[in-house]
Chains A and B, each alone.
Chain A
Amino acid sequence: MSVVRGYNFAYLDEQTKRMIRRGLLKAVAVPGYQVPFGSREMPLPYGWGTGGIQVTASVIGPDDVLKVIDQGADDTTNAVSIRRFFARVAGVATTERTTEATLIQTRHRIPETPLAEGQILVYQVPIPEPLRWVEPRETETRKMHALTEYGVMHVKLYEDITRHGRIATSFNYPVLVNGRYVMSPSPIPKFDNPKMHRMPALQLFGAGREKRLYAVPPHTRVESLDFEDHPFEVQTWDDVCALCGADDSYLDEVIVDDQGGRMFVCSDSDYCRQRRDAGHAGHGGPSDLETVERGTP
C-alpha cells in the first residue's frame, strides 16, 4: 500500500506524540492510574477508537508490525480501516497473525494466542472510569481512587448476585491492578480478564473522548474483583467452535441463515484460522465458511 504524502509519520505531529508518550510513561509507572492527556481530533468519530489510535500513533515505529482487531476479528470494517490508516500514514507492515505482530490495537478482545515479552497491546476504551456508574463527579472519583475507597465496586457485584444469583457482569469486569487501583479493562469479555494477569506484553489503554491514558506494565498483578463465596469465574460454553473445534476460546454466536440457524465460532479469527490450518475441524457449519457474518461495531 502506498504511503500518502503530506502527513507526519503515523499522522500525529511529534509534539503530540511526545506528550502522549510522557503520559504513557506516567501510566506505566503508576499501573492502573488514569493519566489525563490532550486528546487530538482524529479523522474518525469518537467511539471508533480515537484513543487507541492516538496511543498506537505515539508508540509505533517504522519497524513495527501492526495487527488490528475488533471483537477479535481482523476482517471487520473498523479493524480493516485502522490497519489501512496506519499502512498509509506510517507505511508499517501489517499482519493478521498475533505471533507476528509487535503492536496490536484491539477493541473488545484479547487474542487467544498468549502474548510475549516485547509485544504491545493497545486497547480502545470508551469509559475509562470504573467508578462512573456510581459517582458522576470526576473530582469525587479521583478522590475515591486516591483514598482507595472502592467499597462501591462491590456494591455493584453484590447487586448482581442478589438479582441473578451470581455475578452477571460479563463485560468490562472491574479489576484491581497491582493491588492498588481499580481499573476498567475496557469492554472485553471477562473471559479475557485472566489473560491480563502477569501478561508478558505491555498493555496500554487510550480513551479519546474521555481524554485518559492508563497502562498495565508487563508481569503486573491484575485481579478481578469478587466475593469469597462468589469467586470470579469466566464464561463457558456447552459447544465448541463449529469451524475449528476449539474448546478453549471465546465463542461468538452467529446467525447463519434466514431460518434462525445459529452456531458458535471463535471470536478470534486468527486463532481459528491457525487451528484450521493445523488440521483441526469443528462439527461443521455452512458450506461457504467465509459468508459467516461477524460482529461489526
Chain B
Amino acid sequence: MTAETNRPLLRAEGVSKFYGRHVGCRDVSFELHPGEVLGIVGESGSGKTTLLNCLSAQLEPTAGHVLYDTRADGLTDVYRMSEAARRLLMRSDWGLVRQNPRDGLRMGVSAGANVGERLMAVGARHYGNIRSEATDWLSRVEIDADRVDDPPATFSGGMQQRVQLARNLVTRPRLVFMDEPTGGLDVSVQARLLDLLRGLVNDLGLSAVVVTHDLAVTRLLAHRLMVMKGGAVVETGLTDQVLDDPQHPYSQLLVSSILQP
C-alpha cells in the first residue's frame, strides 16, 4: 500500500443535521480514502441525501465536521474555508452528479458548452481547445463527436446523465458525489452507465460517495457501504460483506427484501 492512501481524502466527524426537532442525519463519522467508492443506502427519508448534501458542502451540518484533503493545505474543514475557496473546490476538485440531469446541466446550451463550462470557470479562454477537450470527454462517456453542438434537451435520459458525468469530470476532480446516478433510467441504460462509471472510477483513480436505494448498484460500484435508517448509520462495512452477511436487523431486512431476478 502506498503512503498516500493512508491519509483519508474525506473525513466526516460526528456529522449531524437537525431541522428543529426533526433529525436529518445524526452523528455520522467515516473516512474515505483515495480511489474508494462509498455507497450510502437506505430507504426514502433515512437521511442519506441530507448526509450527501452535508458532505458535499451544500448544507452546513448542525454539528460535526467535514474535512477534505485539499491540494494546498491538507485536511481542511470545508465549512471553515472561505466561501471563495469552497466554491472553487466544488467546481474543480469535486464533482456533483445529480439524479435528475436537468438539475445538473444547462439544458439550453450545447453539450460542448456544458462540459466546457468548468474549464472556462477556471480560466480557459481558447474556444478551439475548450471544444476539443469537451469533445474528448464526451467521447469518453460514449457520446459521438457529432452531438457536441447539440443541447442536452435533445438527448435521451441516459445520454444526459453521461453528459453530466463528462461535465463533472473535465476538471479531473478527485472526489465525486452522486445522488441516485442511475435512478430514473431504464435498466439496460443503467447497466451501461454503471459499467462506464466503474471504468472511469478505476482509470481516473476517483473517489466517490454514491447515494442510492438500489443495492444492486452498490454491489457493482461501491467498495464500501453505509446503511442508514432514521438519520443514523446502522451498519457499515465492505459492500459484499454488508450484502452477504448483514449484521443489523434493518440491514438484514433490506437485503432480504431484494428481488433476485
Mark A residues whose CB is within 8 Å of B: 134, 143, 147, 149, 151-152, 154-155, 158-159, 161-163, 226-230
Interface-facing stretch out of B28-36, B58-66, B113-121, B226-234:
B113-121
Most chain B Cβ neighbours within 10 Å, of A151, A158, A161, A226: A158
Which residues of the other chain, A, contact B149 by a CB distance below 8 angstroms? 162-163
- B204 close to chain A: CB less than 8 A: no
Q: How far does the alpha carbon of A151 sit from the alpha carbon of B117 in the complex, in Å?
A: 7
Quote the shortest CB–CB distance from B111 to chain A (angstroms). 10
Decide if B126 touches A228 in the complex (CB within 8 Å).
yes
Decide if A229 touches B128 in the complex (CB within 8 Å).
yes
Which residues of the other chain, A, contact B220 by a CB distance below 8 angstroms? none
- B112 close to chain A: CB less than 8 A: yes
Quote the shortest CB–CB distance from B207 to chain A (angstroms). 24
Decide if A147 touches B83 in the complex (CB within 8 Å).
yes
Which residues of the other chain, B, contact A227 by a CB distance below 8 angstroms? 125-127
- CB closest chain-A residue, reference B127: A227
Q: How far does the alpha carbon of A158 sit from the alpha carbon of B122 in the complex, in Å?
A: 15
- B87 close to chain A: CB less than 8 A: yes
Most chain B Cβ neighbours within 10 Å, of A134, A162, A228: A162
Decide if A155 touches B126 in the complex (CB within 8 Å).
no
Decide if A230 touches B127 in the complex (CB within 8 Å).
yes
Decide if B127 touches A149 in the complex (CB within 8 Å).
no
- CB closest chain-A residue, reference B122: A151
- CB closest chain-A residue, reference B116: A158
- B110 close to chain A: CB less than 8 A: yes
The verdict on A159 contacting B87 (CB below 8 Å), with A151-B121, A228-B126 known, is no
Which residues of the other chain, B, contact A158 by a CB distance below 8 angstroms? 109-110, 112-113, 116, 120, 127, 130-131
Mark B residues whose CB is within 8 Å of A: 83-84, 87, 106, 109-110, 112-113, 116-118, 120-122, 125-131, 149
- CB closest chain-A residue, reference B117: A155
Decide if A155 touches B109 in the complex (CB within 8 Å).
yes
Decide if A229 touches B126 in the complex (CB within 8 Å).
yes
Which residues of the other chain, B, contact A230 by a CB distance below 8 angstroms? 127
Which residues of the other chain, B, contact A152 by a CB distance below 8 angstroms? 117, 120-121
Q: How far does the alpha carbon of A230 sit from the alpha carbon of B131 in the complex, in Å?
A: 13
- CB closest chain-A residue, reference B129: A229
Q: How far does the alpha carbon of A130 sit from the alpha carbon of B195 in the complex, in Å?
A: 41
Quote the shortest CB–CB distance from A223 to chain B (angstroms). 12
Decide if B120 touches A154 in the complex (CB within 8 Å).
yes
Quote the shortest CB–CB distance from B45 to chain A (angstroms). 28
Decide if A162 touches B113 in the complex (CB within 8 Å).
yes
The verdict on A161 contacting B118 (CB below 8 Å), with A143-B83, A149-B87 known, is no
Q: How far does the alpha carbon of A154 sit from the alpha carbon of B106 in the complex, in Å?
A: 14
Which residues of the other chain, B, contact A163 by a CB distance below 8 angstroms? 110, 149
A selection of 19 A-B contacts at a CB cut-off of 8 Å is: A147-B87, A149-B121, A151-B118, A151-B120, A151-B122, A154-B125, A155-B106, A155-B109, A155-B116, A158-B109, A158-B120, A158-B127, A158-B131, A162-B112, A162-B113, A162-B131, A226-B125, A227-B127, A229-B129
The verdict on A147 contacting B84 (CB below 8 Å), with A158-B120, A162-B113 known, is yes
Decide if A159 touches B113 in the complex (CB within 8 Å).
yes
Q: How far does the alpha carbon of A226 sit from the alpha carbon of B126 in the complex, in Å?
A: 9
